[in-house]
């Protein structure tokens, strides 16, 4: 009995320590104290109860305080609970602070929750970004395709990131402007001789309005000649006209064949009447027997001559 009491106490102490170290990240609390970041044990326990991973809040807070930012643990925890990327947001604030860009936590959190990469936005506002577009195809007035690839140099506009159109919109606008500009050109050779005319006209159209970027320049990266659309259309039209003419000729041929067959049928019908007419003439005495034989001989001679003539032709 004397050994049961100390054993029970030891077990309870072990259970208490397990629960304590499960709820309280002591190592993280010590790290915060050493960095002079005011985070109490009660705050860490509350995070556990609110299903917040303390390290994803406290570590970015330590990094922010070390960088000279005035942030509170409640701000970062609220952003975490809202589904934001706390670490990326803090990195963006540090980058903006060092680049002397005005960016407070509320705006940075709003940009992050809007689905934009706030750190990339800050970096792009400091160092412009080059966007290489896909190939755009325009057709000059002479019917020749001109295929153009451009490079757009943009700079993020922090004030317009929330609610501003993204990179896809900028690329689509530039593509539409390129196609329109090429379409206004009389000869495709004019575009090849002066490619800067395209970039100049496109850049003058204010394509960055309403977007999250400021367009610094639009440059022609590649340009090549495509198909001759006008020549293709002319060939297709000629082929279509030829098919119509062939159809009309076939129709006329069929009509001629039908007419010939009708005439042959009439001849056959007329030939069928000849024996009956001869019979009637014999009965009426209008035709003698000798006259009939002479006619038969003439027909036989004619058939023989026609047969000989055909053999000579062969």
pTM of the model: 0.61
pLDDT score, position 3: 62
Q: Return the biggest CA–CA distance within the chain.
A: 165
Which helix (H) or strand (E) element contains residue 86? helix 86-98
Is the predicted pLDDT of residue 2 greater than 60, yes or no? no
Helix (H, G, I), strand (E, B) or coil at 201: helix
Question: What pLDDT digit, counting tens, does each position of 92-117 carry?
Answer: 999 999 888 888 899 999 999 988 88
Q: What is the pLDDT of residue 49?
A: 78
**Mean of pLDDT over the chain:** 80
Confidence category of residue 57, pLDDT binned at 50, 70, 90:
confident
**Euclidean distance between CA atoms 164 and 211, whole angstroms:** 4
| Mean pLDDT in residue range 279-305 | 67
- Per residue in 203-234, pLDDT (tens digit) is 777 788 888 888 888 888 888 888 887 777 77
Checking if the pLDDT of 79 tops 90, the result is yes
CB 25, CB 54: distance < 8 Å: yes
pLDDT in tens, 5-49: 666 666 666 665 565 556 566 667 777 777 788 787 777 777 877
Which tokens is 110 given?
């709003």
Fold of 129-231: Tetrahydropterin Synthase; Chain A (3.30.479)
Residue pair 65/71 in contact by the 8 Å Cβ criterion: yes
pLDDT of residue 200 exceeding 90:
no
Confidence of residue 134 (pLDDT cuts 50, 70, 90): very high
pLDDT band at 184; cut points 50, 70, 90: confident
pLDDT (0 to 100) of residue 24: 64
Burial 182-221 (b: 16+ CB within 10 A, else e): beebeebeebeeeeeebbebbbebebbeebbbebeebebe
Q: Do 80 and 51 meet the contact criterion of CB atoms below 8 Å apart?
A: no
The pLDDT assigned to 85 comes to 92
Distance of CA 165 to the CA centre of its chain: 18
């Amino acid at each position: 009995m004397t050994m049961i009491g100390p054993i029970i106490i030891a077990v309870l102490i072990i259970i208490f320590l397990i629960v304590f170290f499960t709820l309280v990240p002591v190592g993280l609390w010590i790290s915060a104290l050493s960095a002079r970041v005011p985070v109490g044990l009660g705050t860490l326990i509350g995070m556990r109860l609110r299903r917040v991973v303390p390290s994803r809040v406290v570590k970015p807070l330590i990094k922010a305080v070390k960088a000279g930012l005035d942030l509170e643990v409640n701000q970062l925890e609220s952003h975490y609970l809202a589904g934001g990327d706390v670490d990326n947001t803090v990195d963006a604030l540090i980058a903006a602070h060092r680049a002397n860009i005005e960016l407070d936590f509320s705006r940075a959190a709003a940009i992050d929750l809007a689905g934009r990469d706030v750190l990339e936005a800050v970096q792009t506002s400091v160092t412009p970004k080059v966007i290489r577009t896909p190939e755009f195809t325009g057709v000059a007035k002479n019917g020749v395709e001109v295929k153009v690839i451009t490079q757009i140099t943009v700079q993020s506009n922090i004030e317009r990131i929330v609610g501003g159109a993204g990179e896809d919109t900028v690329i689509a606008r530039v593509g539409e402007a390129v196609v329109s500009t090429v379409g206004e050109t009389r000869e495709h050779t004019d575009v090849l001789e002066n490619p800067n005319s395209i970039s100049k006209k496109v850049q003058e159209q204010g394509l960055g309005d309403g977007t999250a970027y400021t367009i610094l320049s639009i440059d022609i990266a590649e340009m090549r000649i495509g198909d001759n659309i006008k020549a293709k259309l002319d060939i297709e039209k000629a082929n279509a006209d030829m098919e119509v003419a062939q159809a009309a000729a076939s129709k006329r041929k069929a009509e001629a064949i039908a007419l010939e067959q009708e005439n042959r049928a009439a001849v056959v019908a007329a030939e069928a009447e000849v024996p009956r007419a001869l019979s009637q003439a014999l009965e009426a005495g209008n035709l003698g027997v000798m006259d009939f034989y002479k006619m038969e001989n003439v027909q036989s001679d004619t058939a023989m001559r026609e047969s000989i003539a055909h053999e000579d032709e062969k």
